[in-house]
């Protein structure tokens, strides 16, 4: 078990390195001279050179990478071209709403998708299964901004149950935060849950064919106990894997959702930075999301051992 954890941790390091090289190149190989952009229209060539030197743009690409990387591991991602604030500070300011949105969405998704997927598998090809799967196709096919506006129209404008937009920080109390995030979380959840429900259905359906299910029935176990305690736990590995993969999709969704609901999170920061060509910020955000994804994958890998004793080795 400790060997498994260490192995997984060690495997994450080369991934991180590769990702950082890729992110560095992505921004540096993009056309356009950042120095000119930063200097603005009225700068003299001397000023541009000065900026170039300050940003180490006059050095070779590998040398630039070494500087950038050693700064990055010290949590120095440079400063925003637009506001001059450090990128890490900008990201840190925006983490809370994004984290809350992602976590709330994840909880809703698991609560909705896993029971529905399990029931669909248990009643495979029946009316219940077909209904659930039809909704899942719909959920997956309709873009987030469409469901977002529909939800706002219905629950905020018509019924007035939730605010139309905005975010209440945790300092206002968790209740207020959750109320402000309910509609965006549901909008995001619909897409995400559709994916997870389908995978849950497939995984549970496969496990239901296994001989041990017959043994459990022959022991007189109830359907609920068989499904939850035995089948779902056995089917856990593929389900958790897809939840992890789905997180990437969730990040994309966060950007759109934050814009629609006017939530001051990292998604909004991303959109603003891209619009202003604020390269250091864009780079920092991509790195942040990449590290987050790697950490989530690591957690998914480690959770395998929780579900399946055979993985622990």
Q: Please, what is the minimum distance in Å from the beta carbon of residue 203 to other proteins?
A: 13
Q: How far is the CB of 119 from other proteins (least distance, A)?
A: 17
Return the residues of window 253-312 that contact other proteins according to CB under 8 A.
Answer: 307-310
Options 57-65, 152-160, 208-216, 242-250: segment touching other proteins (CB under 8 A): 208-216
Of 57, 18, 60, which is closest to residue 39 (Cα–Cα)? 57
Q: How far apart are CA 249 and CA 243, in angstroms?
A: 10
44: DSSP letter = -
Rounded to a whole number of angstroms, the minimum distance from the CB of residue 218 to other proteins is: 4
Phi/psi of residue 79, nearest 5 degrees: -120, 155
Q: Smaller CB distance to other proteins: residue 85 or 225?
A: 225
Nearest distance in Å: CB 308, other proteins: 6
Specify the residue, 71 or 215, whose C-beta has the smaller distance to other proteins. Answer: 215
Q: What is the DSSP code string of 22-43?
A: HHHHHHHSSSS-HHHHHH-TT-
**Which CB, 157 or 229, lies closer to other proteins?**
229
Question: Quick one: how far is CA 308 from the chain centroid?
Answer: 25
The nearer residue to other proteins, 126 or 173, going by C-beta atoms, is 126
Cα–Cα distance for residue pair 106/247, rounded to 1 Å: 9
* Pairwise CA distance, residues 239 & 205, whole Å: 12
CB of 11 to other proteins, least distance (A): 24
Instruction: Report the nearest approach of other proteins to the CB of residue 311 (Å).
Output: 10
By CB under 8 A, the residues from 209 to 248 that bind other proteins are 210-212, 214-222, 225, 229-230, 233-234, 236
Q: Does 125 bind other proteins (CB under 8 A)?
A: no
CB nearer to other proteins: give 124 or 291. Answer: 124
CB-based burial of residue 145 (10 Å sphere; 0-12 exposed, 13-18 middle, 19+ buried)?
Answer: middle
Q: What is the DSSP string of 49-117?
A: HHHHHHTTTTS-HHHHHHHHHHHHHTT---B-TTT--BHHHHHHHHHHHHHHHHHHHHHHHHHHHHHHH
Question: Which positions lie near other proteins, rule CB under 8 A?
Answer: 210-212, 214-222, 225, 229-230, 233-234, 236, 307-310
């Amino acid at each position: 078990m400790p060997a498994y954890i260490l192995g997984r941790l060690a495997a994450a390091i080369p991934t991180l390195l590769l990702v950082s090289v890729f992110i560095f190149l992505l921004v540096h190989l993009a056309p356009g001279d950042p120095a000119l952009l930063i200097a603005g229209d009225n700068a003299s060539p001397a000023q541009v050179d000065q900026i170039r030197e300050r940003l180490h743009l006059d050095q070779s690409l590998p040398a630039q990478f070494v500087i950038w990387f050693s700064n990055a591991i010290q949590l120095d991602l440079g400063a925003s071209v637009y506001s001059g604030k450090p990128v890490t500070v900008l990201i840190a300011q925006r983490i809370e709403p994004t984290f809350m949105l992602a976590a709330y969405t994840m909880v809703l998704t698991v609560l909705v998708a896993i029971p529905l997927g399990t029931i669909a598998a248990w009643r495979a090809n029946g009316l219940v299964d077909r209904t659930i799967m039809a909704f899942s196709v719909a959920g997956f096919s309709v873009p987030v901004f469409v469901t977002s506006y529909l939800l706002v129209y219905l629950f905020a404008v018509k019924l007035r149950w939730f605010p139309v937009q905005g975010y209440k920080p945790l300092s206002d109390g968790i209740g207020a935060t959750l109320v402000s995030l309910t509609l965006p979380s549901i909008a995001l959840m619909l897409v995400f849950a559709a994916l997870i429900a389908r995978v849950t259905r497939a995984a549970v359906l496969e496990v239901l064919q296994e001989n041990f299910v017959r043994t459990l029935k022959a022991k007189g176990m109830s359907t609920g106990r068989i499904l939850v305690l035995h089948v779902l736990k056995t089917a856990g590995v593929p389900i958790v894997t897809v939840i992890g993969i789905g997180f990437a999709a969730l990040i994309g969704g966060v950007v759109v959702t934050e814009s629609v609901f006017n939530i001051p999170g990292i998604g909004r920061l991303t959109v603003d930075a891209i619009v202003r060509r604020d390269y250091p910020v864009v780079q920092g955000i991509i790195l942040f999301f990449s590290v987050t994804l790697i950490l989530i994958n690591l957690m998914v890998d480690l959770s395998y051992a929780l579900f399946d004793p055979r993985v622990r080795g």
